[in-house]
Structure 1
Amino acid sequence: MRPPTMKAAGLALAALLTLSACAKAEEPVAAPAATSTAGQQVVQTPAGDAGPTCTLEQFGGEKFDLKTAVVGFSQSEKEANPFRIAETQSIRDEAAKLGITELKVTNAQSQFSKQITDVQQLIAQGVQLLVIAPLNSDGWEPVLQQAAEKKIPIITVDRQINAKPCDDYLTFIGSDFYEQGKRAADRMIEALGGKGKVAILLGSPGNNVTTERTNGFKDRVKEQAPEIEISFEQTGEFAREKGQQVTEQLIQSNPDINGIYAENDEMALGAVTALKGAGKEPGDIKIVSVDGTRSAVQAIVDGWLYAVIESNPRFGPLAFQTAQRFLDGEAIPDKVIISDRDYDASNAQDSLGEAY
């Protein structure tokens, strides 16, 4: 998949503005087959195909004015990661644009127990809508029970929670992580000519992003390139410093490695630092990662990364649009899947301004 031209991007954005990502179940609308554009997200899955739907009547809550409501956003990770910075800023910017007068933002600093406490405190402070970027997929029962008692709709972004939509939360908005893993595998197969040894820098355990990006990559390699051997796997915890440490170990234990699949850009950039320290040259080891940060796209320009699969963090517009449609009585699908672009040597230089 290649990024659209500027004209196509404009058409995609126009389609997003007219498309109901959360259309009524009885009136499914085909989503545009387009990639995300700078600052925006394009819905990939038609609402009628997204699974069960939920209405305000089914949920059991009361309609409220979003502009005057108390809205809570729970960020999961330290905002040293460009993904998290862009994600939080997108929520803040869209709330300001819509005139939402009271937005409460918390940050769990990568501690799950703190995130649970953060959200419980938001509930105690009277929030009427919760947008949560979960650190883990499990362990949300205390929060969900408290939110359900007060009929507070919850929208999760970028990671899913293991719970029942409409009963426990409203919907999930994010990427198809399994598909991201498959696309990353396609680029690695391309880079290595279908054979060689590959290491995987795994994301943090305990969430669906890591699991699905791993399974998608492995399944695709097994299916399309049996001569590629996955000879090393270790978590880099989605962190640059940890990615560097793991790659330093990798170089020592597997000096014949040909490729590295990093499940986010921060780990990939840490790997680049390790390779530089080991005297490697750009392109000696092919690196494919997921996210689409500006630093990673620049690393493609510089020859250190082969390709990056985007994971768009700008959830603000779509999250609040979904909330408003729900409050207007429309049926919301249990998943709103967005479309992400690819970056490689053919478009990285021209796309730097669109990366986050």
Structure 2
Amino acid sequence: MKKVVSWLGLLLLLCLSGCTLVESESKPLPVPSNVDSLPSLEDWMQSQEYNLPSKEPIILGFSQLGTESAWRIANSTSIQDAAKESGITLIIKNAEQSQTKQFEAVRSFIKQKVDVIAIAPVVESGWDDILQEAKQAGIPVIIVDRSVDAQDTSLFVTTIGSDFYEEGVKAGKYIQDRLRNMPGTIRVAELQGTSGSTPSIQRGEGFRSILGDKDHILFSQSAPADFTEDKGRQVMEGFLQVGEEERPQVLFAHNDEMAFGAIRAIQDAGLKPGEDIIIVSVDGSRKALQILADGQINAVVECNPLLGPQLMQATKEIMAGRTLPKRMVPREDIFTQESAKREMLNRKF
């Protein structure tokens, strides 16, 4: 009887071994080549293990472009908090809206021999040489928030940030639907961000892709206001130095801060923001949603600044030798007066 049991045990062991062998020979599915099939940033985050093992502390050098808005401050805070939570040593340098200072920061990171460099570029162009220096030093680069137009895309590993073109499209569609039955020519003014910056370029392009070919839409005024409240007020004051028949009926502000400045200028001119001039902005800060709920802004397109966890995840993935999608985009929404009242208390910036 004992021999029978022993033989049965041996047969069972061989069967189990056979199952394990077959499973180990299975091959992973190939990575899709079509960029449209890449996962969203949230889906990618959920598919990875956040706390990857690391024998030594990872050092991340981050060149932040400035502190021009509540959005930017929230972005920096998110990155600092996530670095602390993930055990990554963060060296952060504020470029104060200067690309030259960003070059200096990257060279400083190279000299310090950091493990990974992250850059939130103040403008799109002019990055090829400095990125080449990082590549020659063997330091991988992550582009955060904005984009670079480097011809050699191997100079950076991935870009983490919003789809600015789509944000412009959302703003344009809102205006198109809102004023669908408005008779006559509709005059549209635009407060652009920093000249040459990715969000300014792409938000404008997305917006005009919806409204630019409409015969009844006139882009009457457009000027950069550098993503700041003071400049937004100043430029809007200039827009309003015209007669009533030339005054803009719609304002698209490329961020909330410029919209805040424009609202003050509109009020100073004796007009009602949100009524006399329809206003759409981008970002979605708590302050913007409050003003939206109060009716002085008509719609706010969301742009998520809380990219810290995703940046730390990507940094750890790179150090683990894993391949990342070339671009990762968070899910974002557009808020109207009704949805702003619900979402306002959930804002973290």
* TM-score, length-scaled by structure 2: 0.81
Deviation at 1:164, TM superposition (A): 4.9
Asked if the contact 1:287–1:306 (Cα under 8 Å) also holds between the matched residues in 2, the reply is yes
The structural deviation recorded for 1:67 is: 6.1
CA distance in 2, matches of 1:64, 1:146: 29
- Matched position secondary structure for 1:68: coil
Question: Relative to structure 1, is the Cα distance of residues 344 and 190 closer, same or farther in structure 2, using a 3 angstrom cutoff?
Answer: same
Contact 1:179 1:213 in 2 (8 A): yes
Runs of 4 or more, structure 1, over 6 Å off, are none
Pick the aligned partner of 1:213 from 203, 216, 219.
203
Letter in 2 for 1:104: I
Partner SS for 1:115:
helix
Is 1:136 the counterpart of 2:136? The answer is no
The aligned counterpart of 1:12 is none
Deviations 1:209-255 (A, max 9, x none): 211111111111135x4422211111111111111011101111364
SS at match of 2:204: helix
What amino acid is aligned across from residue 241 of structure 1 in structure 2? Answer: D
Could you tell me how far apart the structure 1 residues matched to 2:55 and 2:83 are? Answer: 10
Q: Aligned letter for 2:209?
A: D
1:111 alignment counterpart: 98
Q: Percent identity?
A: 33
Corresponding residue of 2:276? 284
Paired position in structure 2 for 1:257: 248
The answer to which structure, 1 or 2, has the higher relative contact order (CA under 8 A, 6+ apart) is 1
Q: CA deviation at 1:188?
A: 1.5
Residue of structure 2 equivalent to 1:15: none
For structure 2, list consecutive stretches of 5 or more residues without a partner in the other structure.
1-27
* Distance in 2 (alpha carbons) for counterparts of 1:138 and 1:64: 36
The separation in 2 between residues aligned to 1:164 and 1:154, in whole angstroms, is 15
Are 1:156 and 2:147 counterparts? no
251-260 vs 91-100, which deviates more? 251-260
2: distance between equivalents of 1:206 and 1:281?
32
Residue aligning to 2:85: 97
Q: Is the 8 A contact 1:309 1:343 kept in 2?
A: yes
2:343 pairs with one of 340, 343, 351: 351
Q: Rg bigger for which structure?
A: 2
Q: CA RMSD in A?
A: 2.5
Deviation at residue 149 of structure 1 after TM alignment: 1.3
> How far off its partner does 1:142 sit?
3.5
- Relative to structure 2, which stretch is displaced further, 305-314 or 294-303? 294-303
C-alpha distance after superposition, 1:275-305 (max 9, x if no partner)? 1111112422100011111111111012110
Residue by residue, what CA displacement relative to the aligned partner does 1:243-271 show, whole Å, maximum 9, x if unpaired? 10111011113643111001111111110
- Tell me, yes or no, if structure 1 residue 338 matches structure 2 residue 330: yes
> Structure 1 residues 310, 67: CA separation in 2 closer, same or farther (over 3 Å shift)?
farther
Structure 1 residues 239-254: aligned runs within 5 Å: 239-253=228-242
CA 1:248–1:93 in structure 2 vs 1: closer, same or farther (change >3 Å)? same
Give the structure 2 partner of residue 328 of structure 1. Answer: 320
Q: Which residues of structure 1 form unaligned runs of 5+?
A: 1-23, 33-40, 48-62
* Contact 2:161/2:328, CA 8 A, preserved across alignment: yes
| TM norm structure 1 | 0.80
**1:1-53 superposed Cα distances (whole Å, 9 cap, x missing partner):** xxxxxxxxxxxxxxxxxxxxxxx982458747xxxxxxxx6359xx9xxxxxx
Query: Is contact 1:64-1:327 (8 Å) kept?
Result: no
Letter in 2 for 1:278: A
Residue-by-residue CA offset, 1:182-225 (whole Å, 9 max, x unaligned):
100111223323651110111111122211111111111135x4
SS across alignment from 1:289: strand
- Structure 2 distance, partners of 1:83, 1:313, is 6
Letter in 1 for 2:344: L
| Separation of aligned partners in 2, 1:124 and 1:149 | 12
* Aligned-partner Cα distance in 2 for 1:169–1:116: 15
Aligned to 2:257: 266
Residue 66 to residue 313, structure 1, CA distance change in 2 (3 Å): farther
The CA distance in 2 between the partners of 1:254 and 1:162, in whole Å, is: 41
Alignment pair present for 1:147 and 2:140: no
Q: Distance in 1 between matches of 2:70 and 2:146?
A: 16
